[in-house]
A and B are shown apart, each in its own frame.
Chain A
Amino acid sequence: MAGVLLADAQNLSILDPAGPPAESIRGLFVLVSAITFGIFLLVEGVLIYSLVTGRRRAGPGDPEPPQVYGSKPIEIAWTAGPALVVFVLVLLVGRVIWEVQPDPDRPPAGAEPLRVTVVGHQWWWEYRYESYNGRELGFVTANELHIPTGSPGTPRPVYLTLQSADVCHSFWVPRLGGKTDLLPGRTNQMWVQTDEPGLYQGQCAEYCGTQHAHMLIRVVAEPPAAFEKWLAAEAAPAADDPAGRAGRAEFLSLSCVNCHTVRGTPARGTFGPDLTHLMARQTLASGTTPNGPADLRRWVNNPQQVKPGCLMPAFALTEPNLNLAVDYLETLR
């Protein structure tokens, strides 16, 4: 399929599953597609045949063709046939429904589950790491979800608890599974799992306002050792680099702290993404732009230019202040 030709990271095809739920769904999809394609061929075949013969038969002045009013046996046949197909399909669908939506409270034996609460915000993702293999985690990060890959004999299912801070969103990473919505006032569950390390992309799939198009999802699947390292780094408070001291004071004096958290500093806002380890992320603003010194500067200077309509205002910082703040952010590794 076309998806295979793409670089892995940019592949969002549902036909290239990288985990069990996506895998079962592809199986079902291919099967129903085959069945419906068969029906399609049959119908178009009969139609074309009738058309060709019907044209040949038509001639000026001919009397009308024989009038056939109907036939009970035929009607019963083409009611029963499809009914049978539907019956089989319903059974198959039932099986896959139970397959892709397991009970998160009962992970399979030998599994090391990761539990993360995902909170959708107008146009970015908050990830609260709850526990990994029974160990409490309790840190918050944003916009890049890291998960461990499973190893032979040790599946590492990831159970996502989905909530929304504002409007409806939908969490969707096609290669890992179907989508599940995040509804304000409701809590949903979702399961993803993979054995293949790599970057899996997706995006918010429920229209959620102006920048719905830039609410992208990045899931980084890493082998358990690398994942543990990432966990340790993320759980730590923000770096306190002497080089960034002046910038830090500047940042803390700005309104940034009302919306952003930098753990280990007085910045405790929760309206925007947690910035504690901002520079560990590869993109800014939920995948809108790559993350690097120039991009970061452009973002802080005027987010409205980068992601028009987003909920972070431009502050018209003076050149020196902007430099100081960005210098500080760059130390947040």
Chain B
Amino acid sequence: MATAEAEPAAAPAAATRPPWTATLHGWVVTVDHKKLGILYVLMAVGFILVAGAAALMMRLQLWAPNLALLPPTTFNQFFTLHGTTMVFFVGMPLLIGIANFAVPLMIGARDMAFPRLNAFGFWATLFGGLLVYFSMVVPGGPPAVGWFAYAPLTENSFARGPGVDCWALGLIVSGFGTTTAAINFAVTTLSLRCPGMTLRKVPFFVWVMFWTSVQILVVMPPLTAALVMLEFDRQLGAHFFDTQAGGSAYLWQHLFWFFGHPEVYILVLPAFGMISEVVPVFSRKVLFGYEFMAAATAAIAFISLGVWAHHMFAVGMSRALDLFFAAASMLVSIPTGIKLFNWLATVYGGKLVLKSPMLFALGFLSMFVIGGLTGIILACAPVDLQVTDTYFVVGHFHWVLIGGTVFGIFSAIHYWYPKATGRMLSERLAKWQFWLLFLGFILTFAPMHVAGILGMPRRIYTYGPGRGWELWNQLATLGALLQAPSYLLFAYNIVASLWKGKPAGDDPWDAWTLEWATPSPPPAYNFAVVPTVRSRRPLWDLKHPDDPDWKYE
């Protein structure tokens, strides 16, 4: 327990600036959860620019029928890298990084439970990502197998170069990083909460990160196992997925999606948590129905472990299995609905403060629901037989991952940036960023649903004229061009505001959780005195001694 009340060393006075090599060294060897969190985010921002550029190139290639901007193999490599990067080296690192920064502060801890393991997790993720990109310089180039890499396309007979090996090994390495991060979150949440903070009183984001960690711990090992089996096939002559020697293509799909579906929730649950912090503060109301929200989170974590084969309706399982997985998938919509309704109830009757974190949160609330609803359409197995593997699905999951995860992440970064750096982000740039993203996102992904309904499969590097797909592809490409600057604005804003941003003060949003009770940026030890709490909103209690929360909880 790190709750010893020892007097911490005084903060070092910034008398002379250390040479840049010393600063760099400090960041490389750091085991401070705040610095590691920032490193995760910076790494993800780097990867998002690369994978985003690949997406833009693909959109240009699909601008009109039979264009030859990208050769087929390049296009196929691009969508493989784009998907892999966005899931493993952008989405997860952003969420894990932000949580790394916020969770210990929110529970009044001085660091994560295992600081060195935490550093290991970051570096494993980074080097895993670099290993995947190392495929750029091997013979044959990056893998062209798609991010779910269906066997036997990944076997030696079909993918001869070492590209697939780089991909698989990279994901194995980063998978260890993710797993250790999950262990760390779970242990930290269970054992380092400050006095008074029972498990029923943790900030909602912390609760959600706990369940996300549970999911990671359940599904990451099967993915790693599948990847190891794949490498056994490729390097040691095993035949797990080598269909020409009796291996099973079907097995890979089950193993992959057993990871792959919960992965969607791993990517979106933390965003739920972030929204659950931002919406109350900027509506000036307590989160509506905390207990039901908490139960819904656990329900999602459990149910979503049993729905993976809704990605496989078309592989010909059996009618009974189809029905089972359709029903299970629709079941998830119930706890997800509970969350949505509770957020709405939190906004309802509030006094809205439309600062940038809230803008992105509202973007989330208005858009995520659409991705959820198209998810219900897809869960109807027979409908899925028509629209799976089409642009309808591409539209759907980008709606969830951008409308949900990315809006949530931007909301969180705009919310916690002042805490992390001591400076405010430029609200003006943030508003531009929001509107470009909001409109560009809708323009990119709404037309994709139509293209899918009109019969356009995903992952085709080109298409013939006259099928009615041209217009929808052009709109999508225009949308991508509209979105692109918003990410650049964001990258610029987080760098420039380090110098130009207004000083933030400890508590710029007049918020209620513990991280706002310590200076911005927080000292290495987080809290001079470990706080004691009585409710879920300790700072509310402090600010409203006449009407504290603990009377109601």
Q: Looking across the interface, which residue of chain A has its beta carbon closest to that of B145?
A: A207
Say whether A97 contacts B316, CB under 8 Å. no
Say whether B326 contacts A308, CB under 8 Å. no
Cβ-defined partner of B383 (8 Å) among A29, A54, A207: A29
List residues 80-138 of chain A with CB under 8 A from any CB of chain B.
Answer: 82-83, 86, 89-90, 92-94, 96-101
Residues of A within 8 A of B460 (CB): 203, 212-213
From B369, B380, B385, residue with most partner A Cβ within 10 Å: B385
| A323 contacts the other chain (CB 8 A) | no
List residues 31-58 of chain A with CB under 8 A from any CB of chain B.
Answer: 32-33, 36-37, 39-40, 43-44, 46-47, 49-51, 53-55, 57-58
Cβ-defined partner of B338 (8 Å) among A50, A58, A78: A78
Say whether B468 contacts A6, CB under 8 Å. yes
| B19 contacts the other chain (CB 8 A) | no
Residues of B within 8 A of A308 (CB): 71-72
Q: Looking across the interface, which residue of chain B has its beta carbon closest to that of A37?
A: B373
| B286 contacts the other chain (CB 8 A) | yes
Knowing A14-B387, A74-B345 are in contact, say whether A202-B249 is a contact too (CB < 8 A): no
Chain B 513-553: CB-based contact to A (< 8 A → 1; otherwise 0): 00000000000000000000000000000001001010011
Say whether B316 contacts A206, CB under 8 Å. no
Cβ-defined partner of B344 (8 Å) among A1, A40, A50: A50
Say whether A47 contacts B344, CB under 8 Å. yes
Say whether B349 contacts A90, CB under 8 Å. no
Interchain CA distance A69-B327 in the complex, whole Å: 32
Chain A 304-327: CB-based contact to B (< 8 A → 1; otherwise 0): 000011000000000000000000
Say whether A168 contacts B153, CB under 8 Å. yes
User: Chain B's nearest CB lies how many Å from the CB of A306?
Assistant: 12
Say whether A97 contacts B319, CB under 8 Å. yes
Say whether A309 contacts B552, CB under 8 Å. no
Say whether B347 contacts A54, CB under 8 Å. yes
User: Chain B's nearest CB lies how many Å from the CB of A31?
Assistant: 9
List residues 1-26 of chain A with CB under 8 A from any CB of chain B.
Answer: 1-3, 5-7, 10-15, 22, 24-25
Say whether A101 contacts B319, CB under 8 Å. yes
User: Chain B's nearest CB lies how many Å from the CB of A17?
Assistant: 10
Say whether B350 contacts A54, CB under 8 Å. yes
Interchain CA distance A43-B172 in the complex, whole Å: 41
Interchain CA distance A49-B350 in the complex, whole Å: 11
Say whether B369 contacts A43, CB under 8 Å. yes
Q: Looking across the interface, which residue of chain A has its beta carbon closest to that of B452?
A: A14
Residues of A within 8 A of B455 (CB): 12-14, 174, 202
Residues of B within 8 A of A6 (CB): 466-468
Say whether B347 contacts A82, CB under 8 Å. no
Interchain CA distance A191-B365 in the complex, whole Å: 41
Interchain CA distance A213-B70 in the complex, whole Å: 13
Cβ-defined partner of A184 (8 Å) among B152, B337, B369: B152
Interchain CA distance A70-B346 in the complex, whole Å: 9
Say whether A14 contacts B72, CB under 8 Å. no
Say whether B468 contacts A10, CB under 8 Å. yes
Interchain CA distance A68-B348 in the complex, whole Å: 10
User: Chain A's nearest CB lies how many Å from the CB of B300?
Assistant: 13
User: Chain A's nearest CB lies how many Å from the CB of B544?
Assistant: 8
Interchain CA distance A210-B377 in the complex, whole Å: 31
State the interface size on chain A (CB cutoff 8 A). 97
Q: Looking across the interface, which residue of chain A has its beta carbon closest to that of B148?
A: A207
Say whether A65 contacts B349, CB under 8 Å. yes
Cβ-defined partner of A2 (8 Å) among B330, B350, B450, B462: B450
Knowing A36-B373, A69-B288, A179-B385 are in contact, say whether A55-B380 is a contact too (CB < 8 A): no
List residues 203-217 of chain B with CB under 8 A from any CB of chain A.
Answer: none
| B314 contacts the other chain (CB 8 A) | yes
Cβ-defined partner of B246 (8 Å) among A13, A185, A206, A287: A185
Knowing A12-B454, A213-B463 are in contact, say whether A181-B316 is a contact too (CB < 8 A): yes
Q: Looking across the interface, which residue of chain A has its beta carbon closest to that of B376?
A: A36
Say whether B327 contacts A90, CB under 8 Å. yes
Residues of B within 8 A of A261 (CB): none
User: Chain A's nearest CB lies how many Å from the CB of B339?
Assistant: 10
Residues of B within 8 A of A89 (CB): 330, 376, 380
Interchain CA distance A266-B289 in the complex, whole Å: 77
User: Chain B's nearest CB lies how many Å from the CB of A5?
Assistant: 7
Interchain CA distance A114-B381 in the complex, whole Å: 26
Cβ-defined partner of A79 (8 Å) among B334, B345, B349: B334
Q: Looking across the interface, which residue of chain A has its beta carbon closest to that of B390?
A: A205
Interchain CA distance A92-B154 in the complex, whole Å: 38
Q: Looking across the interface, which residue of chain A has its beta carbon closest to that of B348?
A: A50
| A188 contacts the other chain (CB 8 A) | yes
Cβ-defined partner of B323 (8 Å) among A10, A62, A94, A208: A94
Say whether A86 contacts B330, CB under 8 Å. yes
Say whether A68 contacts B288, CB under 8 Å. yes
Say whether B459 contacts A207, CB under 8 Å. yes
Say whether B349 contacts A50, CB under 8 Å. yes
Say whether B382 contacts A209, CB under 8 Å. no
| B398 contacts the other chain (CB 8 A) | no
| A272 contacts the other chain (CB 8 A) | no
| A66 contacts the other chain (CB 8 A) | yes
Say whether A96 contacts B552, CB under 8 Å. no
Residues of B within 8 A of A44 (CB): 366, 369
Say whether A209 contacts B340, CB under 8 Å. no
From B285, B291, B353, residue with most partner A Cβ within 10 Å: B285
Cβ-defined partner of B381 (8 Å) among A43, A78, A93: A93
Residues of B within 8 A of A62 (CB): 351
Say whether B289 contacts A213, CB under 8 Å. no
Say whether A211 contacts B385, CB under 8 Å. no
| B461 contacts the other chain (CB 8 A) | yes
User: Chain B's nearest CB lies how many Å from the CB of A120?
Assistant: 12
Q: Looking across the interface, which residue of chain A has its beta carbon closest to that of B537?
A: A67
Q: Looking across the interface, which residue of chain A has its beta carbon closest to that of B510?
A: A64
Say whether A86 contacts B382, CB under 8 Å. no
Say whether B337 contacts A186, CB under 8 Å. no
Interchain CA distance A51-B327 in the complex, whole Å: 34
Residues of B within 8 A of A54 (CB): 283, 347-352
User: Chain A's nearest CB lies how many Å from the CB of B185?
Assistant: 26
Say whether A51 contacts B352, CB under 8 Å. yes
Residues of A within 8 A of B347 (CB): 47, 50-51, 54
Knowing A3-B468, A79-B338, A208-B153 are in contact, say whether A203-B457 is a contact too (CB < 8 A): yes
| B290 contacts the other chain (CB 8 A) | yes
| A302 contacts the other chain (CB 8 A) | no
| A183 contacts the other chain (CB 8 A) | yes
- What 6 additional pairs, Cβ within 8 angstroms, besides A10-B466, A68-B286, A97-B323? A12-B456, A92-B380, A93-B380, A181-B316, A205-B389, A209-B144
User: Can you list 30 pairs linking A and B with CB atoms under 8 Å apart?
Assistant: A1-B453, A2-B468, A12-B467, A25-B383, A25-B386, A37-B373, A47-B366, A54-B347, A54-B351, A64-B351, A68-B286, A69-B286, A70-B342, A78-B337, A78-B341, A79-B337, A96-B380, A97-B322, A174-B386, A179-B388, A180-B316, A181-B314, A184-B244, A185-B250, A188-B316, A205-B314, A205-B389, A207-B459, A209-B144, A211-B72
